[in-house]
Amino acid sequence: MPEIKVTIPYTTVLSKNLSHYNIAINKRVPTKAYTVTLKVIGMLIRGEMNKRAVAFQKGKVWLDIMIYRPDMRADPPNFIDSICDGVKSALGIDDRFYAGSWDWELDKKNPRIEIEVRQ
């Protein structure tokens, strides 16, 4: 059963309340910060997959997401879809196959997002 866990620094760039897109000539173009953050999630997950020699197959994937936030300003549920998009880029499995849970705590000294992926 493949199982990996990665940690990224906390960033509100993942919150859907922020605009992830620049509107340019009637096209939605993702912001650089959003694109880079999703790529970092994907690279970390692929790195762990390679290090542990695990592969995920098309099918149901469980995600457990823990958001350690520095304050009460951003809403944790608004991060989930973006995190799933980052995971999808690494696994190549559409996020319609994802299930799981998320939670949050305050951690002013070490804000971060922990993502556990298993199948």
Residues in the chain with pLDDT < 70?
18-28
Domains of the chain: 3-118 (3.30.1330.70)
Q: By C-alpha distance, which of 82, 43, 47 is closest to 63?
A: 82
pLDDT at 48: 96
CB neighbour list of residue 30: distance below 8 Å, 6 or more residues apart: 20, 21, 22
Reported pTM: 0.89
pLDDT at 21: 65
Q: Which helix (H) or strand (E) holds 106?
A: strand 98-106
> What is the rounded CA–CA span in Å between residue 63 and residue 10?
17
pLDDT at 19: 65
pLDDT at 27: 66
> Are the C-beta atoms of residues 106 and 10 closer than 8 Å to each other?
no
pLDDT at 16: 80
> Are the C-beta atoms of residues 78 and 15 closer than 8 Å to each other?
yes
